[in-house]
Every structure is written in structure tokens, then in C-alpha cells.
Structure 1
Amino acid sequence: MKKIFFIIIIALFSTGKSFSQTKKENTVSDSQNVFSRPYDYVNDFEKILNPNQTASLTNTLKAFEKQFLYKITVVTTSTIQPYTSFPDYALELDKYLAKDPKLDPTILIVVSKELRQIQVQSIDLIRYKLSDNDTQSIITTYAVPEFKKGDYGKGLELAVEQIMSKLKTY
């Protein structure tokens, strides 16, 4: 009787581990948790724009989308965790936003003051209007000088204006 009781006790304690819950680790592929915030035209998660700059840029982007059907989305962020590179973060954010037709941007501009990075993602269909070289030139000529002065709102406004003027052509 003692042997049977002992075997039952051992069996109960040894199976306890298989029924216990373990915490799921966050993975890079789990973008739902990383990008689970609501998104609009201007998303200043890093808080580098003042309310007037955010409102002005939002109005500009809304009007442009209404007239030309190109949606430009701006996101500021202070961290790219769990990603290790800024381009990877921007690419995954673009993929995440593309899942929802209401959020899917034609152009996504991701900026980090803290990380001193900017990345522009665009759909392939507009490359004939706005090449990678055009984008690089716009960023270095219009955005970066203002960023260096600390005026991220003006830098983004100037860069967006130039991007919109390129998209209006043809």
C-alpha cells in the first residue's frame, strides 16, 4: 500500500511541470505587440513636435491624400526595440500598417531624435516619381539641416512639401 501511495505522489508531482504556464517571450515577428498603438497621419510618440506642428502637418497630409490619393504617414519613436536596426524597424512598421487598408501608407517617414535616424519607406509604384536618390536628396537638403537646429517640425514639414511636389508631377 505504501508503494502505491508513493508512486501516486511521484506521478502527481512530476506531471505538475507539464501543466504549468510559461511566459511567452516577445519575438520580432510578433509585431502586433510592438506596433500596437493607434496610428494616424502624424504619430509623435517621441514628443518632439509641438501641438501646432502636429496639427499643421496632419492637415497638410490629409488634404494631400484627399486631392492626390497618396497617403503619407509620419512616425517619431525613441526606441526600436526589439529590432536591432532602424531600417528593419521601419520596414516592419510599414508591413504592419499595410495590413489595414485605412492605415496603409504610400510613404512612411520614421524619425528618431534620440537615435538620430530617419527612414523613408515607399511603395514600388511611385518609384518613377520619387526615387531613392530623390528621397535621400530631400532628406539631406531639407530635413537634416532643420533637425540639426532642433526644429523637427519644420524639417518634417519641408521634407513632406518636397515629397508632395515630386508626387504631384507627371
Structure 2
Amino acid sequence: MKKLFFTLLLLSSVLLSAQTKNDIDFASRLKSTFSQSTDCVNDFEKILKPEELKALNTTLNNFEKKYLYKIVIITTPSIEPFQSFEEFATDLDQFLSKDPRLDPTLLIVVSKTLRQIQLLSVDFIKYKLNTEDTQNIISTYSIPELKKGNYYKALEQASNELIKKLQ
């Protein structure tokens, strides 16, 4: 499945040391991580409170049931063994696409530690939500809140705006 992607840097790029990519280790770690979870929000960086996580999951699950578009949000403290955030998000999206329970229509990957956000979407929603729309939503609703450190509000507002566009 072809994916459309773009990257927004939140504040500044973090220089990453050269790392070697080991696809087998990454795939096995992802498989063990996601084999038990089909939630829309996976907070591996632990930046959301339990009630925030529950509220965001409820919103996204209800939207998926009604419109059949799955929005998945993943927070991560590290992109190891990858060299770039974009590469990490793209490979993560490809991995999730292999399982119908996890396959996202929109994938939002956020890292507080790395100060980056990436949004990937499938091509078939382009007529409802193009690159300019997604970039505008992230820039207008997420980035100001992320700069303030309010990750829940940033993700909630972006999700609500994406939902409005996809309805």
C-alpha cells in the first residue's frame, strides 16, 4: 500500500549518532510490542495520563466504528536502530499495515524526547485530506500545544480536526 508522508520538526532536529539498522530485531520487538495491543493510542513514552489515554482511545475507537478510518497514535522515546524519525515512522507504518487489526489509515508518531512528530496517511483518503490539510492541522493545532508541553491537548485537537476532515 502506498503511503503519503511528511515530516514536521517541532523545535529543532536532534543530531543522531550513526546507528546500524537491524530489521530483524526491530520487527521482532515490534511484533512482541503490538501483538497484545490493538488500541488506537500506544503511549510508549508515557507522556499521557491514564485518563487522557482512555479519552483519546475512546474518541478514536468511536470514530473508527462509525467511519471505518483508523487513526493510530504512537509515542516513542527512541527511534533506535533507525537513523531518522521519518525512516522509523515509515517502517512502523509498513509493519502495522501487515495486520488488519492494526493497519492505520492515519498514523501519528510523536516523540517528546526527540521533539518530533510525523503523520503518515494512505493514498485513498487524499480526496478528503491532502498533504496541505494535514500539514495545516499539525501546524495549527498540535505544534503550539506541543511547544507548551501539553501533549494530550495537542493530540486531541489534531485528532478532532482530522476526524472532521474525514467525516
With normalisation by structure 1, the TM-score equals 0.81
Instruction: Give me the CA root mean square deviation.
Output: 1.4
* Counterpart contact for 2:26–2:81, Cα < 8 Å: no
- Equivalence for 2:96: 97
1:148 aligns with 2:147: yes
AA in 1 matched with 2:73:
V
Query: Is the partner of 1:129 in helix, strand or coil?
Result: coil
Deviations 1:55-94 (A, max 9, x none): 0000000000000000000000010011111111111000
Larger RCO, structures 1/2 (Cα 8 Å, 6+ apart): 2
Of residues 29, 33, 49, the one that matches 2:28 is 33
Select the structure that is richer in helix: 1
**Shift of residue 33 of structure 1?**
2.3
**Shift of residue 35 of structure 1?**
1.6
**Shift of residue 144 of structure 1?**
0.7
For residues 96 and 153 of structure 1, the distance between their equivalents in structure 2, rounded to whole angstroms, comes to 25
* Counterpart contact for 1:41–1:73, Cα < 8 Å: yes
Q: Which runs of 5+ in 1 are unaligned?
A: 1-24
- Percent identity reads 51
For residues 96 and 123 of structure 1, the distance between their equivalents in structure 2, rounded to whole angstroms, comes to 14
1:131 aligns with 2:130: yes
For residues 93 and 43 of structure 1, the distance between their equivalents in structure 2, rounded to whole angstroms, comes to 13
Query: Is the partner of 2:22 in helix, strand or coil?
Result: coil
Q: Which runs of 5+ in 2 are unaligned?
A: 1-19
- Equivalence for 1:59: 58
* Counterpart contact for 1:31–1:96, Cα < 8 Å: no
- Equivalence for 1:71: 70
- Equivalence for 2:42: 43
Aligned length: 144
For residues 28 and 103 of structure 1, the distance between their equivalents in structure 2, rounded to whole angstroms, comes to 19
Work out which of the two has the higher radius of gyration on C-alpha atoms and give 1 or 2: 1
- Equivalence for 1:122: 121
Select the structure that is richer in strand: 2
AA in 2 matched with 1:150:
G
Query: Is the partner of 2:91 in helix, strand or coil?
Result: helix
**Shift of residue 128 of structure 1?**
1.1
Moved over 6 A (4+): none
